[in-house]
Amino acid sequence: MLTLWIVRHGETQLNVEDRYGGRMDVPLTSKGLQQADELAKRLQNQHFDVMLCSPLKRARQTAEAISKTCHLDSIIIDDLAERNLGVYEGLTKAEIQVRYPDLYVSNCTHLVDGAPTGGESQREFERRIRRVLSEIKQLYDGKQVLLVTHGFVAMMINKIMKRLSFDEMYAFHMGNGEIISYTLTS
């Protein structure tokens, strides 16, 4: 049995401005750094065998705060990066509506096999997250594993763990600096 603890990174300027972040490599805001420190304090009495982290700066900064408090180095896992949102990255919904009206009308971010130009579909993203979860299960079975990652990654893990449909998964939201855990059995 493996216990998987999911942590969403602290706040970024993209979060403040309600912009699609995706694979953009942005740092935490001062509030995000504070959220990371508070998160580290909440986790300091919990034992973890390993901390795995997205390669994106906002997740790495969050992991660094946890590392200082929990004395646990992080291992960077590329597949824990946020969903690639292609041409939508860095834009607000209003900007997308003006620049990419056809894509906006198609609601492509919510299509199972659709995506913004240059982006990752939900199905492609789910395959990536299933692959990384399988690898984690193989490598760390019986362990307490902390994942420092992103909102859509957390949403997809929740979908997989609870066997939800693509439509049902959108009821789940994880705020910046929040934690959730799951138990994976064989």
183 a known binding residue?
A: no
173 a known binding residue?
A: no
Distance CA 90, CA 37 (A): 26
- Catalytic status, residue 9: yes
Task: Map tokens 């959220």 to a residue.
Answer: 35
Distance CA 86, CA 16 (A): 20
Cα 147 to chain center, whole Å? 9
First to last CA, the chain: 7
Q: Which residues contact 100 (CB under 8 A, 6 or more apart)?
A: 87, 88, 116, 117
- Catalytic status, residue 89: no
Counted residue by residue, the chain has a size of 186
Token pair belonging to 156: 């997809």
11 a known binding residue?
A: yes
Of 82, 89, 120, 126, the active-site residue reads 82
10 a known binding residue?
A: yes
137 a known binding residue?
A: no
Of 9, 120, 126, 150, the active-site residue reads 9
9 a known binding residue?
A: yes
15 a known binding residue?
A: yes
Distance CA 31, CA 120 (A): 29
128 a known binding residue?
A: no
- What separation in angstroms does the CA of 45 have from each of 40, 70, 181? 10, 8, 15
Binding residues: 8-15, 58, 93
Binding residues for substrate: 8-15, 58, 93
Active-site residue list = 9, 82
